[in-house]
């Protein structure tokens, strides 16, 4: 899927120059001179990065950012500005702005930062998919396996778990082996790496 950059700026020259440069770099670019027109395009084509001019008539960059936050849009937001007050910068960053760049911005600088933002989105998506898969596997454990899992991630040994559950150590070993198969892990370090954080969230 192509990476989409949404540009919102009321300066037609800046809009055209940035759009042409990014298209040459193989980004999908959608540009708007009014914030209202941009907001009507929601939901966005993902993955996406939004580049907003801070100072615009009608809706400002901050107004657009607030509207995006209210609608649950999580794509990174870059702000471009030639004349912004410090409070505006603070407000933008407090509301989750990814970058704040002063005009005129070097196209190569913008290009590098956009690539970084898209790479981070891809990494997040991969981790999120892995988390969902791990949650599904964890749900396959029966009650006894879940108890053993909880003790293992807390650092208990086979012997100590057997004592706590009034079982033989060999029984714990067998149930641990079954648990490993369901969770698709090879050993205890692998289990802790993949599922330790999920245990902390329980």
Do 60 and 150 belong to one domain?
A: no
Q: Do 40 and 116 have their domain in common? A: yes
For the chain, what is the HEC assignment?
A: CCCEEEEECCCHHHHHHHHHHHHHCCCEEEEECCHHHHHCCCCCCCCEEEEEECCCCCCCHHHHHHHHHHCCCCCCEEEEECCCCHHHHHHHHHCCCCEEEECCCCHHHHHHHHHHHHHHHHHHHHHHHHHHHHHHHHCCCCHHHHHHHHHHHCCCCHHHHHHHHCCCHHHHHHHHHHHHHHHCCCCHHHHHHHHHHHHHHC
119-124 average pLDDT score? 89
| Two tokens, residue 175 | 């149930």
Is there a single domain that holds both residue 33 and residue 107? yes
Average pLDDT, the chain: 88
| 134 occurs within a structural domain | no
Question: What confidence tens digit (pLDDT) does each residue in 139-175 have?
Answer: 888 888 888 888 888 888 888 898 888 888 888 888 8
Is the same domain home to 103 and 190? no
CATH code: domain of residue 161: 1.10.10.10
pLDDT bucket at 39, cuts 50 / 70 / 90: very high
User: What average pLDDT does this structure show over 125-151?
Assistant: 85
In percent, how much of the chain has pLDDT > 70?
95
What number is the average pLDDT over the span 72-101?
Answer: 83
- Structural domain span for residue 87: 4-127
pLDDT of residue 128: 78
Q: Is 193 part of any domain?
A: yes
Res 84: pLDDT = 62
CATH, residue 63: 3.40.50.2300
What integer pLDDT is reported at residue 48 of this predicted model?
A: 96
146 in any annotated domain: yes
- In this prediction, residues 38-62 reach a mean pLDDT of 92
pLDDT at 187: 86
Domain presence at residue 133: no
Tell me the pTM: 0.66
pLDDT of residue 199: 58
- Under the banding of pLDDT at 50, 70 and 90, the label for residue 201 is very low
Q: Is residue 33 part of a domain?
A: yes
Instruction: Examine the domain organization and report whether 70 and 164 are in the same domain.
Output: no
Asked whether the predicted pLDDT for residue 7 surpasses 90, the reply is yes
Q: Is residue 132 part of a domain?
A: no
The mean pLDDT of 183-192, rounded to a whole number, is: 86
Quote the number of domains for the chain.
2
Mark whether 41 and 94 lie in a shared domain: yes
């Amino acid at each position: 899927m192509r990476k989409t950059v949404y540009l919102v700026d009321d300066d037609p020259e800046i809009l055209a120059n940035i759009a042409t440069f990014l298209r040459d770099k193989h980004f999908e670019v959608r540009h708007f001179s009014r914030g209202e027109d941009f907001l009507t395009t929601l939901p966005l084509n993902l993955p996406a990065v939004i580049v907003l001019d801070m100072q615009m008539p009608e809706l400002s960059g901050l107004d657009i950012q607030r509207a995006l936050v209210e609608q649950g849009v999580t794509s990174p937001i870059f702000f471009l500005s030639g004349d912004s007050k410090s409070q505006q910068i603070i407000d933008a960053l407090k509301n989750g702005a990814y970058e704040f760049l002063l005009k005129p911005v070097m196209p190569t600088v913008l290009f590098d930062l956009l690539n970084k933002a898209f790479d981070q989105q891809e990494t997040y998506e991969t981790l999120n998919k892995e988390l969902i898969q791990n949650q599904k596997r964890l749900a396959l454990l029966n009650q006894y396996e879940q108890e053993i899992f909880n003790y293992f991630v807390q650092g208990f040994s086979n012997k100590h778990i057997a004592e706590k559950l009034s079982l033989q150590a060999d029984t714990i070993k067998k149930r641990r082996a079954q648990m490993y198969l369901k969770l698709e892990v090879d050993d205890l370090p692998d289990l802790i790496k993949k599922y330790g954080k999920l245990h902390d969230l329980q």
